[in-house]
Chains A and B, each alone.
Chain A
Amino acid sequence: MQATKQTAAAAARQKSPKMGFGKRLRNFCDNSPYLLMILPAIIVVFLFNYLPIYGVLIAFQDFMPGDPILSSETVWVGFDNFNRFFSDPQFWPLMKNTFLICIIGFAIGFPLPIIVSLALNAVKRKQVAKVFQTIYTAPHFISLVVLVGMLRLFFGIDGLVNNIAAHLGAERFQYMLEASAFRPLYILSSNWQDFGWSAVIYIAALSNVDPVQHEAAMIDGATRFQRVIHVDIPAIMPMISVMLIMSIGGLMGVGYEKALLMQHDANLSVSELISTYVYKRGLTGVPDQAYATAIGLFNSVINVLLLIIANTTSKRFSENSLW
């Protein structure tokens, strides 16, 4: 009883917009321990996420490593670094490589986990489904270095794939050096590693489906496959929308970690991505940090725009959106 009263009082306190200054101060002091608990996280995020955002200013400067970001001697060059990138002969190849690896990866990697989760959910014995799920998620925990190392072992000149091919009378093929093999290997290995992990989120959503719905459908004579289409898929539709928006936001956002490990002089024509180019121009050789930062900023802005477009579109045509 007293508890309800107090909660009601607390709610009233929160709602009334015109609180006296003293009361607000007391309220703040009362709750300041919460701020103290968040403080370490604020500091870490400020240092490693916000300071770099501030550092983006060098994209608009004539910057030498070691210069302060803002000083009286700062030379502002406007969008020169961006214009340099747009006229860089690498510009279109980079855009194309980045977009292609993302869009093909999306075309395979987006539906696959959904199909797998539906298939797993349809398995009658939950124990069996659990075993499959355990197997499918295992490769997620293999590091990228080991994954690319495994690719080399399997697709190298005397690796398993070539040995089997040679056995069947085909010629040996340097997959890891061949430009045409880069995208398939990159995308297939990513899917091999992560389809099970990506499916978990849909499996969670499917496990929340009310069994009564299935029962009703069964009484109406629906087959198991019809129940997948008419009960299971609608149940995970909100989740699919959210994941779709996120994926579209990432359509130009492929990272450098894996591509760098798979790069080789011989496949550079397809394996050089915006992110790997930023790394190379900014941190290796004779670094051109302002230029690399400008390229990176250009890429981030594209990503944010894509995300906003995807979210707005989704909001217009359905009730699902990120914000």
Chain B
Amino acid sequence: MSNVKAVFKEKHHALKDTRGDRIFHFINLCVLTLLALIILYPLYFIIIASFSDPDAVLGGEVVLAPVRVTLEGYEYIFQRQDVWSGYLNTIIYTVITVILALAVTIPAGWGLSRKTTPGKKFWMLFFIIPMFFGGGLIPFYNVMSSLRLINSAWAVILPAIMSVWNLFMCKTFFESSIPEGMLEAARIDGAGKFRTFFSIVLPLSKAIIAVMALYYAVGQWNSYFNAMIFLQDPTKYPLQLVLKEILIASESTVGGSGETILQQYRQANLLRYVSVIVSSLPVLCLYPFVQKYFAQGVMIGSLKG
């Protein structure tokens, strides 16, 4: 396929662009560049603001480069116990979620992709219905409550270990990417269904396993709502809930003289920029390296569409 494309590319260059084509390409690139700037500038601004003197940020002096570089914000966040405990909690929740999610989703995707699975049509319907209809928030809360999961870390982890969308993505992958011949060969060699799954299917499925791990990890890393409604004990709060406090809760000042209030205000503001960086850093650092897998995942899922 890529060979065909390469040949095509050469031919493409052989055919001369018309004047209209050149204008089209020029405008196209301009628009795309503008869009890229709209995405990048806010992210860039957060970074330079986090290194700048808070007064310069509030006064509008920071536009293209940091002004009066300071690490004050980073020093301040290192002293915030809640941020680091949230960080640790999020890492723990994310790791457990990913392990359980893979253990649940990957075998289920394989099972659903086989034609001979007993009751396959019924189970397909069983998994499709929740994609379009659900009980809603309150019944969900009541179920969690009757499972005694309120104020338990499991309330954050367990509902996140199965996404039906991801399950169907796995199923589509298995249907299209595992050569039937190899399975047949394994069968003739006397390998059972489980043996075949573990020693033939899994080694061929690194791409989908990576995609699933990433989807589930990012999902758990970024979620706040279940933690907000189920966790009462602040020592169990994940990072996003701590961030919500820092970024979004009303500007509460402890009080004191006007100068102290002002001081607190600029410190709180600086802390916001720094906390955005510190919390998004792991995801955004990993992102360029794993981006191709994310895109791959969407493509796997869309094969059928």
Contact = CB atoms under 8 A, between A and B. Distances in A.
Contact of A296 (B138, B162, B192): B138
B18 A123 contact: no
Nearest to B41: A160
Contacts of B140: 48, 52, 55
Interface residues of B, number: 106
Interface in A147-198: 148-150, 152-154, 158, 160, 163-164, 166-167, 192, 196
B222 A56 contact: no
Contacts of A30: 116
A59 to B, nearest CB: 9
Contacts of B280: 141-143, 146
B99 to A, nearest CB: 13
Contact of A143 (B193, B222, B298): B222
Contacts of A34: 110-111, 114, 116-118, 193
Interface string B38-51: 11101101100100
Contacts of B127: 41, 45
Contacts of B158: 44, 47-48
Given A38-B123, A138-B43, A149-B247, A143 B143 contact: no
B162 A45 contact: yes
A1 to B, nearest CB: 12
B29 A123 contact: yes
Contacts of B222: 141-145
B132 to A, nearest CB: 6
Contacts of A214: 8, 12
Contact of A148 (B29, B36, B49, B248): B248
A200 B117 contact: no
B79 to A, nearest CB: 20
B142 A40 contact: no
Interface residues on A, range: 35 or more
A35 B141 CA distance: 29
Interface of B is mostly: helix
B135 to A, nearest CB: 3
A275 to B, nearest CB: 8
B123 A136 contact: no
A238 B49 CA distance: 45
Interface string A8-32: 0010001000000000000110111
A207 to B, nearest CB: 8
Given A119-B31, A164-B60, A304-B132, A27 B116 contact: yes
A54 B295 contact: no
Interface string B1-41: 00011001001100101101100110011011001101110
A137 B139 CA distance: 34
Given A47-B158, A224-B25, A300-B134, 6 more contacts: A56-B135, A146-B243, A150-B46, A160-B45, A204-B299, A204-B302
17 contacts: A14-B115, A34-B116, A37-B107, A38-B107, A42-B123, A47-B147, A48-B159, A49-B134, A119-B32, A135-B40, A143-B223, A160-B45, A192-B42, A218-B12, A223-B20, A238-B305, A293-B139
Interface of A: 2-3, 6-7, 10, 14, 27-28, 30-38, 40-42, 44-45, 47-56, 58, 65, 116, 119-120, 122-124, 132-139, 141-146, 148-150, 152-154, 158, 160, 163-164, 166-167, 192, 196, 200-201, 203-205, 211, 214-215, 218, 223-225, 238-239, 242, 249, 256-257, 260-261, 275, 278-279, 282-283, 289, 292-293, 296-297, 299-300, 303-304, 307
Interface of B: 4-5, 8, 11-12, 15, 17-18, 20-21, 24-25, 28-29, 31-32, 35-36, 38-40, 42-43, 45-46, 49, 58-60, 103-105, 107-108, 110-112, 114-119, 123, 126-127, 130, 132-143, 147, 158-159, 161-162, 164, 167, 181, 184-185, 188, 192-194, 197, 218, 221-225, 229, 240, 243-244, 246-248, 269, 272-273, 275-276, 279-280, 283-284, 287-288, 291, 294-295, 298-299, 301-302, 305
